[in-house]
Amino acid sequence: PPADPRPACRTLRRQMAVLDDWIAQRQDEGVPFVLMGDFNRDLTPRDPYFRAWQGDGPLTLATALHASPCWGGAYFIDHVLLGNRGRDWLVADSLRVLTYDQQDPAWAARLSDHCPVSVRLRMP
């Protein structure tokens, strides 16, 4: 939660403040943008950070309303956000998740705890 005093949460608040400023600047400029990567957070349309970013202008969260197949998990921690005209670039139903075959226990410790996500974009 945003008010959680634990060190990891304080770090997250600092990181999210930087993202908030960046998103607000892009929204003010009106330039299309795509922001993607490891948020290490169950980011949903109800998330307080996402809702704050939406206050700067509408965003599309490509992972919204999808369950992650990664490691048997229920939610994504890697995300793709699109803003301004960038929202129009998203190809419907194009979200893909690369999952790992975890049958070999020797590899389980070596593989990432994240499964990469991708979307198709149709840019003008």
Say if 61 falls within a structural domain: yes
Average pLDDT over residues 101-116: 73
Say if 123 falls within a structural domain: no
Say if 88 falls within a structural domain: yes
Say if 2 falls within a structural domain: no
Say if 107 falls within a structural domain: yes
Q: Please give the DSSP secondary-structure letter assigned to residue 90.
A: B
Residue 35: strand pairing partners: 81
Say if 55 falls within a structural domain: yes
Q: How many C-beta neighbours within 10 Å does residue 25 have?
A: 12
Domain that holds residue 11: 7-118
Residue 118: strand pairing partners: 96
Instruction: Please provide residue 79's backbone torsions phi and psi, each rounded to the nearest 5 degrees.
Output: -140, 160
pLDDT tens for each residue of 5-60: 677 677 888 888 899 999 999 999 999 999 998 888 888 999 998 999 998 899 99
Say if 56 falls within a structural domain: yes
- How far apart (Å, rounded) are the C-alpha atoms in residues 87 and 79? 14
- Name the domain count of the chain: 1
Question: Which tokens belong to 110?
Answer: 């070596």
More confident residue, 60 or 107: 60
Say if 25 falls within a structural domain: yes
